[in-house]
Amino acid sequence: MTRQTVASLLTNRLAADSVLHVFCDGPRPGQESRVQAVREYVRSITGFARVVLHEQEVNLGLSRAIMDGVSEILKTHERVIVLEDDLKLSAGFLDFMNQALQAYAANPRVMSVSGYSFPIRHAREQVQDAVFGLRASSWGWGIWRDRWQAIDWEVSDYVRFRSNPVRRFQFNRGGSDLSRMLDRQMAGRINSWAIRFCYHQFSHGLVDVFPVRSLVENIGFGDGAEHCRQDVRGWTSEMVEVPPTRFCLPQDVRTDPDVLRQFRSFNSLTARAIRVAKRQWLSLVVWFGRPASAPVAPKSKRSNLLGPLSPW
């Protein structure tokens, strides 16, 4: 999947002007050869202004690896664009991300920029190429140094939040799973940078920028996936195939009630339950369609049912 991600990134006209930093986590037991193969591939990548490989000797896990990697880059840069290695990118991804990061750099109410967009219907008269939401996505995103460094990763006000039903209801405007996911994080049942990221966004009244049409598609699901064996096609938006080189970004930072309503509906308990049921049905179809001699892949203990806000 890493090759597919890099290949799609190279379709962007700004790739040749971009420095690509690749953070390669240390291997888990038994995965040494796979990690070494990825590192050898990274050393062969061309087409960018420069490719820098950061090799980790011990396995940090996805959450810490992302937090440490982003922090490392932002020591010397004012902004960063972050990708995991299981994404397919539109040829307009880098244009949108760089333009949005430039446009909202001085506006502290905008916490981050997302290249992925939830499947949302927009009005026909929509003339702008971006909207604002209350739930950040971890599928291709960007942030500024000052906003990243302001995040309270310890969630120091969690005790007050946990017992406040009004605040819990308000946090769940971005999806009915958010408060419960934060509870699981604070109880040590998951290890997620993303839920703490979203909680900081909520607790400070910040928004996230989304393209009207998605510039990212997740391809990291199925038996070969590390963190997401479940089918994520229920989260897939139609990706822009022929994007503009210049995006029309709104100057007035305010949310659209209809967009927020769709966010709530798409991430509601009912909608999520339906998507899980569909995935289970697809799994049964695949199961009964297997040849009798076909090997069965072991179930992942870390499968992700939550879509673009990953708990890992």
Sheet strands (E) in 83-215: 87-89, 110-114, 130-133, 141-144, 207-211
Residue 234 to residue 154: CA distance in whole angstroms: 32
pLDDT band of 307, cuts 50, 70, 90? very low
pLDDT of residue 120: 79
What CA–CA distance (Å, rounded) separates 22 from 90? 20
Amino acid identity of 125? E
Percentage of residues of the chain with pLDDT beyond 90: 66
Say how far apart CA 32 and CA 83 lie, in whole Å.
23
pLDDT one-digit tens code per residue, 226-260: 444 444 444 566 677 778 899 999 999 999 998 88
Of 137-151, 264-278, 297-311, least confident by mean pLDDT is 297-311
Write out pLDDT tens, residues 186-240. 999 999 999 999 999 999 999 999 999 999 998 876 444 444 444 444 456 667 7
Per-chain mean pLDDT for the chain: 85
Indicate the DSSP class of residue 75.
Answer: T
Q: Can you give the pTM of this predicted structure?
A: 0.83
The answer, yes or no, to whether residue 310 has pLDDT greater than 60, is no
Task: State pLDDT tens for residues 61-71.
Answer: 989 999 999 99
Distance, in Å, from the CA atom of 42 to the CA atom of 183, rounded to the nearest integer, reads: 37
Q: What are the residue boundaries of the structural domains of the chain, listed by start?
A: 74-288
